[in-house]
């Protein structure tokens, strides 16, 4: 097992990435809610281009960790550094503009917009920045972005529903739409919170294939997942979170045989 | 055409035709008939239709698209009115500089109010805007009297400097004009028993309403408009797609404030006076009613809502007991008395009661406003399978003139 050996840096000197090719560096992050330690001293490095899975039992702090990364929660201590930029304290839109996109566990789409418009919102923000005053520009003239959006929607299998309101979609379809909203931005770092939860097995496999394809494109991904089939199909490295602490890190093979992981998370389950 | 999709262009054409022929459409009854009092084609009311149409179109850009419910937009209308009247006092009675200044002043005022109010959303935003508007109203009534004229309000006077206009002769009145064309100039056309009035002021205001409407369509159909709709739909999610909602809401707030300023300026251009009551909270509430009644978030709905409310305010309110007795004269006297007694509370001074009932019925049965009613009717007659985008409102042609 390769143990993360980065040392805690002095805050005055700024946070440096712990590993030479690390793109996301989570540095000694601590977060508690009303006395309950959701995250304790979490150190984590995600390398450029890898798919890094974070697994752990329910309540281990996985979603809290993602929320800290995207600015939804502020850590009590520590910092998140993305490509040399400290994300802690930045607002969600600033973090996204730096190239970090998140796919939510419970689909958080725009219910009153059509499927295509849902994807066009992140596409436009990716191109135009966090605010552009263009009240006289025609939305229908955005042909290139629209084609890109249609292409991404095709890759997640939503071509037939382009003009449907997203509120009328099934939960599984909303998840695919969520994924498309993340992918359209071609982010440098994509944070996926259980992207296949609630999907039928066939859809799950299709999503795995899709994420594998993007992997070839070089996008760095952090994925939280309960489904071990998904984790072991996709992950280059795995971090195991239990009780708010990282108890193990390593390649899928190393994690499979790690006794601590078996004890804390997998239990009797055969991987 | 004009950068619009086909259906939007048709809607714009329809609005142009309706405003152009409004003097005919609103006067369908011969002058001598008993129904003549339902004629709405007189200049004062037609001007109100288009001016409040502009106010509602602007309000709809904020409320209809972003969902931010401002309860203080009358403050911008009032600020626009004061700005216009000062332009008429100091520079010229020509309406163009007055209207331009009213838009600029209302824009700056709404920028300041929006900057503070938009720090909050939901009910807190509404209360903040209401507080600002009431504060403006009170200030206009009291300490700002040197600027606002306090209780008496402001009118152009003979001894105002008006540096661009030549000095008025004694007894001559200062009249709002467009390069010499008096806004109150009217031409009457008598055809048989019918009389139609064509008023210069109305057509100036109507032209500005058509332009306002065109700009509103462009905003609705722009990427900017999409972001505003995304804010209404799920503002929280928007941040995670890299969009900062606040500058968008502020831009929408200022744009709608400028529309309100334009409406305020036009009110002065049509009738050269301004008073603080224009800023009172009921005036802010009225534009909310107009927008919801017609259909918030639809293109044409708010204009219809404005027309309906102004029609009731001016026409239904004029039906008194004598008129009612005339209508029901064919009934036996006892029944006539009963019917008149039953109907009377709903007309004349009771027009608010009728409006309230209509509003309740619309909100309960047609949450999408009058436009939803039209859509349902057209779906029933022309097949219900057609997909309609809630934001368009232009897929269904409005059948009523106002």
Rg, C-alpha atoms of chain A: 19
If asked whether residues A262 and A233 sit together in one domain, one would say yes
> Looking at the domain assignment, is residue A237 inside a domain?
yes
Task: Return the closest-CA partner of residue B129 out of B150, B112, B105.
Answer: B112
Distance CA A237, CA B101 (A): 64
Question: Contacts of residue B233 in chain A, CB cutoff 8 Å?
Answer: 110-113
Contact A93 B5 (CB under 8 A): no
Give the structural domain span for A92.
Answer: 14-99+187-266
Written as six digits, the tokens of A69 are 């990364």
Contact A131 B244 (CB under 8 A): yes
Mean pLDDT of A226-238: 91
Contact A131 B243 (CB under 8 A): yes
If asked whether residues A254 and A232 sit together in one domain, one would say yes
pTM: 0.91
If asked whether residues A147 and A207 sit together in one domain, one would say no
**pLDDT beneath 70, residues of chain B:** 167-171, 384-402
pLDDT number for residue B90: 95
Mean pLDDT of A100-125: 94
If asked whether residues A50 and A158 sit together in one domain, one would say no
Mean pLDDT of A245-256: 92
Residue A8 has pLDDT above 50, yes or no: no
If asked whether residues A90 and A123 sit together in one domain, one would say no
Q: Does A11 touch chain B (CB under 8 A)?
A: no
Q: What is the pLDDT of residues A13-43, one digit of tens each?
A: 344 445 668 999 999 999 999 888 999 999 9
> Looking at the domain assignment, is residue A1 inside a domain?
no
Identify each DSSP E strand in A83-182 by its residue range: 85-86, 100-103
Distance CA B374, CA B295 (A): 11
Q: Does B385 touch chain A (CB under 8 A)?
A: no
DSSP A187-248: -SEEEEESTTTT--HHHHHHHHHHHHHHHHHT-EEEEE-S-HHHHHHH-SEEEEEETTEEEE
What percentage of chain A reaches a pLDDT higher than 90? 62
Rg, C-alpha atoms of chain B: 22
The CATH number assigned to the domain holding A235 equals 3.40.50.300
pLDDT number for residue A6: 40
If asked whether residues A78 and A194 sit together in one domain, one would say yes
If asked whether residues A196 and A144 sit together in one domain, one would say no
Best of B220, B243, B251, B253 to disrupt the A interface (most A CBs within 10 Å) is B243
Q: Does B401 touch chain A (CB under 8 A)?
A: no
Nearest by CB: B229 against A102, A108, A113: A113
Contact A108 B387 (CB under 8 A): no
> Looking at the domain assignment, is residue A181 inside a domain?
no
pLDDT number for residue B170: 67
CA dihedral B295, B297, B298, B301 (to 10 degrees): 40
If asked whether residues A197 and A167 sit together in one domain, one would say no
pLDDT number for residue B321: 86
State the count of interchain CB pairs (< 8 A) between A and B.
117
Rounded to the nearest angstrom, the gap between the alpha carbon of residue B75 and the centroid of all alpha carbons in its chain is 14
| Type and span of the H or E element at B50 | helix B43-66
If asked whether residues A205 and A80 sit together in one domain, one would say yes
Nearest by CB: B218 against A96, A110, A136: A136
Alpha helices (H) along B295-350? 301-314, 321-327, 333-343
Written as six digits, the tokens of B70 are 């401002």
> Looking at the domain assignment, is residue A6 inside a domain?
no
């Amino acid at each position: 097992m390769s143990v993360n050996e980065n040392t805690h840096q002095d805050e005055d000197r700024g946070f440096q990435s712990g590993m030479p090719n690390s793109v996301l560096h989570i540095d000694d992050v601590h977060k508690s809610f009303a006395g309950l330690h959701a995250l304790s001293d979490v150190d984590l490095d995600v390398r450029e281009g890898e798919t890094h899975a974070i697994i752990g039992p329910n309540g281990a702090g996985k979603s809290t960790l993602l929320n800290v990364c995207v600015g939804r929660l502020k850590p009590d201590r520590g910092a998140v550094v993305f490509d040399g930029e400290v994300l802690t304290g930045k607002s969600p839109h600033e973090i996204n503009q730096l190239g970090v996109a998140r796919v939510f566990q419970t689909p958080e789409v725009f219910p009153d917009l059509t499927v295509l418009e849902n994807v066009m919102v992140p596409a436009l923000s990716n191109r135009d920045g966090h605010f552009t005053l263009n009240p006289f520009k025609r939305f229908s003239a955005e042909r290139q972005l629209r084609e890109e959006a249609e292409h991404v929607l095709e890759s997640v299998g939503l071509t037939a529903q382009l003009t449907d309101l997203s509120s009328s979609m099934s939960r599984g379809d909303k998840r695919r739409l969520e994924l498309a909203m993340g992918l359209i931005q071609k982010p440098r770092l994509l944070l996926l919170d259980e992207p296949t939860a609630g999907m039928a097995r066939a859809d799950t496999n299709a999503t795995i294939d899709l994420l594998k394809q993007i992997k070839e494109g070089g996008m760095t991904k952090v994925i939280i997942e309960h489904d071990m089939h998904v984790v072991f199909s996709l992950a280059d490295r795995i971090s195991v979170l239990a009780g708010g602490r990282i108890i193990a890190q390593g390649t899928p093979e190393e994690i499979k045989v790690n006794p601590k992981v078996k004890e804390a998370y997998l239990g009797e389950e055969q991987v | 055409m004009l950068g619009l999709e086909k259906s939007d262009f048709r809607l714009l054409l329809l609005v142009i035709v309706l405003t152009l022929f409004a003097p005919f459409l609103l006067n369908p009854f011969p002058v001598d008939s008993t129904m003549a009092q339902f004629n709405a084609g007189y200049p004062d009311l037609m001007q109100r239709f288009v001016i409040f149409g502009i106010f509602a179109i602007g309000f709809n850009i904020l409320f209809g698209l972003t969902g931010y419910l401002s309860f203080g937009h009358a403050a911008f209308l009032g600020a626009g009115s004061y700005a216009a009247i000062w332009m008429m006092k100091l520079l010229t009675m020509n309406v163009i500089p007055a209207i331009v200044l009213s838009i600029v002043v209302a824009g700056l005022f709404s920028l300041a109010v929006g900057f503070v109010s938009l720090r909050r959303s939901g009910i807190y935003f509404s209360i903040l805007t209401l507080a600002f508007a009431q504060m403006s109203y009170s200030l206009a009534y009291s300490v700002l009297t040197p600027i606002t004229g306090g209780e008496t309000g402001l009118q152009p006077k003979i001894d105002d400097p008006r540096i661009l206009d030549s000095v008025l002769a004694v007894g001559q009145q200062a009249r709002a004009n467009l390069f010499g064309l008096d806004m109150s100039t009217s031409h009457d056309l008598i055809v048989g028993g019918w009389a139609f009035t064509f008023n210069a002021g109305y057509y100036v205001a109507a032209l500005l309403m058509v332009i306002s409407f065109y700009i509103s369509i462009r905003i609705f159909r722009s990427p900017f408009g999409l972001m505003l709709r995304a804010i209404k739909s799920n503002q929280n999610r928007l941040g995670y797609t890299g969009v900062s909602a606040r500058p968008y809401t502020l831009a929408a707030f200022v744009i709608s404030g400028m529309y309100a300023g334009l409406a305020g300026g036009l009110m002065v251009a049509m009738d050269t006076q301004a008073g603080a009551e224009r800023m009172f909270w009921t005036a802010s509430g009225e534009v909310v009613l107009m927008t919801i009644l017609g259909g918030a978030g639809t293109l044409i709905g708010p204009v219809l809502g404005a027309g309906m409310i102004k029609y009731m305010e001016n026409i239904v309110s004029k039906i008194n007991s004598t008129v009612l007795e005339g209508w029901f004269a064919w009934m036996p006297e006892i029944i006539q008395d009963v019917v008149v007694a039953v109907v009377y509370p709903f007309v004349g001074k009771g027009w608010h009661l009728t409006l309230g009932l209509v509003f309740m019925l619309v909100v309960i049965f047609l949450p999408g406003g009058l436009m939803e009613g039209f859509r349902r009717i057209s779906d029933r007659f022309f097949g219900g399978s057609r997909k309609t985008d809630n934001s368009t409102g232009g897929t269904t042609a409005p059948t009523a003139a106002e």
